[in-house]
Amino acid sequence: MVPANGDEQTGRKTRSPEACSNPYLRCAFNGAALTALGVSHSALLAHSPQGCEYLVNAAFAAQECDYMETMTLCTKLCVDEIVHGGEDILARTIREVKELPIAALFVISACGPEIVGDDIAAVCESLQPEMKFRLVPIASPGFRGSQYDGIDIALDTILKTLADGGVKKVPGSICLIAPHANANPTWPADLAWVKQVLMQMNIPVVSTLTYRTPLSDIINSASAETCLVLSHDAGQKAADYFSATYGLDQVCKGIPLPIGMTNTQRWLSALGERFDTLKAADEMVAEGERMVTTTCRRKWPMARFLYRTPAAIVADATIGIPLVRFVTEEMEMTPRFIALYSGNRSVRDLLDGELKSLGLATKIEYGTDVYKTRQGLQEIVPRVVFGSTIERHAADGLGIPYVVEVVKMMRQFRMINREYFGYTGILNLFEAVQNEWTMAWRSKEKRYRAKW
């Protein structure tokens, strides 16, 4: 195992030692917007120049917001506000929208107003008595870090501002954290699978932070007995806060998320043990494995032909780390290069553990950027890359026959959300391989034209 760069000492997730990077991740402002837009019956006001609104739009799409229900607004700061301060225009804008029928207005500040010192918390506090809805200021300028840092900043602010510590505990309940820090482009399906599993185990979910989450659920989130982080990239700080402040016990900590048969079995068993529903978990595992096996017997996945084919995984840690075992065990390929968007201490520990357990010596790039990914692919020349549209194009000319797009797809071609978690998730991943397998066979150059 050869970690190629390092930010483990600082704990910052995505810092590159290079001065010039070609990043995969968006900034903290985007991460905060992504989190706030997961709260239903709310609106988001970007205290920023108008360009930052496009980062909000990206978050809006990722959280599957409906423009009939959720409004995004912007103070559209110009030179005047940078020179003289933008607090007045922020106050004016909040007053413009005071009649909106919402439960909360999240006010998120970008780089400009944070550098010039606009005090969005003071503006919100002074205007709160005039408003029918809650004002929630979140200072998350882009320079505070990556989108994962922004998710952590927003969760921290939201919990400290809104969560009520005095609520009564709900026995055997759970709070789900950071389902949106997941590079599956249709990640809500992963969340839906988790919720379905919890329902089958009779484990009540008191709050999801955040996806279509009512404000009341956030207020009541401390009533959960446990919490479950659904990302390896963000959300751990919120779990630590819950644990330290409200005594929530974190379940499935240090276990890769449930992608592939072994990971799913391990993850379900950990849940079963914690909630004393091991029998239900075992039944789910047995039924799930039977379903996947019989489906494969009927559909014949082409992935079986890729035995020990050298593979690369380029993804976030949430998808990338569980994929390592799935690719190695269930698909019988050999991961030779792993490039993860993030690289904090817990990500490194988790991946190290997986590689040791599997006996793999793999080139690793933590906190990768597009340049480093291409360099790694050029050096290793894997035959299959599990990655994104970016790798499809960045690998151009490197002689890599298969690029299976599983994360960060630039074309939104899925109308139905597809999970990677759980047993249907295995089939969804097989399907992605299947389609790429077919495309790789197709001639890139037509040799002749038909006569008709």
Partner 1 sequence: METDSIVFHGNLQQLLEKVETGEMVPKLQASHAPMCKFFTAYYVISGIRHVVPLVHGPTGCPLYMSDFVRTRECCEIRGVPLEPTACTTLDESNVIYGGEGKLLDAVKEAYAKYHPDLIVILSCCCSGIIGDDVESIAREAEKQVGCRVLALKSEGFGGDFRSGYEDAFKLIMELMEPPKTTMKGTINILGARWGPSPTEFNWDLDEIERLLSAIGIKVNAVIAGGCTVEQIRHAREVELNASWCYDWGQKLGDLIQQRFGVPYSRTGQPYGPEATREWLLGVATPLGMEKEASAVIERETREVEPDLAYLRQALSGKTAIIEISEFPGPIRALSLARMAEEFGAHPVVINVHPYTIKERMPSIKYILETGINPEIILTKGLFKLGSFRSSKETEDELEAIVRGYDNPIFFGNSGRFPPCPVVNLTLMNPAFQPQYGYKGIRNIAALVRQALEYKDLPRSRLFKGMLYGAGKR
Q: Residues interacting with partner 1, by CB under 8 A?
A: 14-16, 18-23, 25-30, 45, 48-55, 58, 67-68, 71, 73-79, 81-82, 89, 92-93, 96-97, 110-112, 115-116, 141-146, 370-371, 389-390, 392-394, 396, 410-411
Tokens encoding 115: 């550098």
Phi, psi of 190 (to 5 degrees): -65, -45
By C-beta, is 25 or 176 nearer to partner 1?
25
By C-beta, is 314 or 370 nearer to partner 1?
370
Question: Whole-number minimum distance, CB 442 to partner 1, in Å?
Answer: 16
Question: Whole-number minimum distance, CB 166 to partner 1, in Å?
Answer: 35
Question: Whole-number minimum distance, CB 15 to partner 1, in Å?
Answer: 7
For residue 315, what is the enclosing H or E element? strand 310-315
Tokens encoding 300: 């014949």
For residue 109, what is the enclosing H or E element? strand 104-109
By C-beta, is 51 or 399 nearer to partner 1?
51
Strand-pairing partners, residue 108, are 46, 138
Judge contact between 249 and 226, C-beta under 8 A.
Answer: yes
Phi, psi of 361 (to 5 degrees): -115, 100
Question: Whole-number minimum distance, CB 82 to partner 1, in Å?
Answer: 5
Q: What is the DSSP letter of 50?
A: G
By C-beta, is 185 or 335 nearer to partner 1?
185
By C-beta, is 59 or 380 nearer to partner 1?
59
Strand-pairing partners, residue 311, are 335, 384
Question: Whole-number minimum distance, CB 410 to partner 1, in Å?
Answer: 4
Task: Give, rounded to a whole angstrom, the gap between the first and last alpha carbons of the chain.
Answer: 56
Question: Whole-number minimum distance, CB 117 to partner 1, in Å?
Answer: 11
CB neighbour list of residue 14: distance below 8 Å, 6 or more residues apart: 7, 23, 25, 145, 146, 148, 149, 341, 342, 343, 367
Q: Compute the distance between CA of residue 62 and CA of residue 319 in angstroms, rounded to an integer.
A: 16
Question: Whole-number minimum distance, CB 81 to partner 1, in Å?
Answer: 7
Strand-pairing partners, residue 46, are 74, 108
CB neighbour list of residue 279: distance below 8 Å, 6 or more residues apart: 272
Question: Whole-number minimum distance, CB 41 to partner 1, in Å?
Answer: 15
By C-beta, is 13 or 237 nearer to partner 1?
13
By C-beta, is 141 or 256 nearer to partner 1?
141
By C-beta, is 146 or 265 nearer to partner 1?
146
Q: Which residue has the tokens 């030779």?
A: 336
